[in-house]
Amino acid sequence: MKFWLAPRRLARVCVAVGSLMCAGFASASPTSGDMYYTLFSGGTNVWKVSYSYDGTVATLGAPSPIAASPGADGIVFAPNGNLLIGGQGLGRVYEYTAAGGLVGSGSALAPSYHLSLDPSGSKVWTSDFGGKLAAVPLGPIADASALHTITGSDSGVTQIAFTPGGKVFYVTGSPNGFGNLGSIDLSTFITTGFAATVEAAHGLVYDGFTGLMTIFGHGHVGTFDPASATPFTTLTDFDTGVCDFDQGAVDGKGHALIAGCDGITFIDYSLTGDITASTNYVKFFGGFTGIDDMAPLSGLGAPPPPSTVPEPGSAMLTLVALAGMRYVMRRRLPAS
């Protein structure tokens, strides 16, 4: 009898029954790609670096410069594949091609730090640390029309993040940690908090691998269940030992890269299914002085998938090949 378990469920089973029992059929998931990130100071402040993990050891390539933005903090991809950069105290969001060409900018009406792409793809949300929210239009980028006052449990937010089911969560606080957590209604901008002064609460993303909200701050990572009626009771935390975290990115396959402490921290949790597990593979790469935020690797704000539409030449070759196969098959058929 054959059976199959999804990687995440297999990982959780392995944690429950013990790693030795699972050693014969579970292995860490490899991954590789390019990570785009910002520096909070300097001339060239938008960069990328390649990363690779073979299931045992993580490595990074040499960083490549992308652009010198007037200000750089938050970074996400727009649906068209261009980069969006939060302009810090300049109060603008800048759009660059992935190769570094400036496309344009839009006013955020206030300082712009962390960015969150709206599920519609038509706007990007941004704010000051613990500030009011602005929605900067995209396609083309333009000025925000309003600065939205936040009320309820908290009177300002640092970042928001969306779940696939439509819930919106927020984090407050200045860099880098000890913020408040809660949900926000973007039709009324009323917040409902559920946790205060959480050490890992500064960066906030949804992780499609675990189905949990993941938080980064002060060298800690944490999670909570967005589907729970009492998310406070699901909060987890792990101290990585790194001096500081600002923002992180998850690849949807059980890996995270996190910016902070003048370096990049890589975490593999593809086996445990839990980014806060103490048995995860964790590696810190120094030498990234002034690193600030990272672009998402999966979900909203991640690089759009490559086009699957074949080029005209490829389509023609396919048609010719199919016609040839049909001709050969017809010649092989016996006469009726």
Which whole-number Å values give the CA distances from 265 to 144, 239, 273, in the listed order? 34, 12, 18
Phi/psi region, residue 273 (left: phi>0; alpha: psi -120 to 50; beta: rest), is: left
Mean pLDDT score, 314-322: 45
The whole-number pLDDT of residue 307 equals 65
Largest Cα–Cα separation, the chain? 83
Q: 273 or 15: whose pLDDT is higher?
A: 273
**Is residue 333 very low, low, confident or very high in pLDDT (cuts 50, 70, 90)?**
very low
Tens digit of each residue's pLDDT (9 = 90 or more) over 56-108:
999 999 999 999 999 999 999 999 999 999 999 999 999 999 999 999 999 99
60 Cα distance to chain centroid: 18
Residue 177 maps to a domain: yes
Q: Any idea how long the chain is?
A: 336
What's the rounded mean pLDDT across residues 17-24? 44
Domain containing residue 278: CATH number: 2.130.10.10
3-class secondary-structure state, position 19: helix
Tokens of 149: 């006052």
pLDDT bin (cut points 50, 70, 90) of residue 11 is low
| Closest by CA position to 74, among listed 82, 83, 66 | 83
Using DSSP's 3-state secondary structure scheme, residue 233 falls into helix
Is residue 321 assigned to a domain? no
Query: Cα separation of 271 and 263, whole Å?
Result: 24
Region 138-155 average pLDDT: 99
CB atoms within 10 A of CB 168: 20
Answer yes or no: is 15 within a domain.
no
328 in a domain, yes or no?
no
The model carries a pTM of: 0.86
C-alpha to C-alpha distances, 281 to 23, 52, 254, nearest whole angstrom: 16, 14, 11
**Is residue 27 very low, low, confident or very high in pLDDT (cuts 50, 70, 90)?**
confident
Cβ-count burial 42-73 (b if 16+ within 10 Å, e if not): eeebbbbbebebeeeebebeebeebbebebbb
Q: Do residues 195 and 181 make contact, with C-beta atoms less than 8 angstroms apart?
A: yes
Q: Is the pLDDT of residue 4 over 50?
A: no
Q: H or E stretch including 323?
A: helix 312-332
How many structural domains compose the chain? 1
In a domain, 2, yes or no: no
pLDDT of 306 reads 80
In the predicted structure, residue 331 carries a pLDDT above the cut 60: no
d(CA 10, CA 276): 17
Mean pLDDT of the chain: 89
Q: DSSP characters for 171-189?
A: E--STTS-EEEEEEETTTT
> The domain containing residue 133 runs over which residues?
31-310
Classify residue 221: in a domain, yes or no. yes
pLDDT digits over 228-241, tens only?
999 999 999 999 99
225 located within any domain: yes
Give ∠ CA 105-109-113 in degrees, rounded to 5.
70
5 inside domain: no
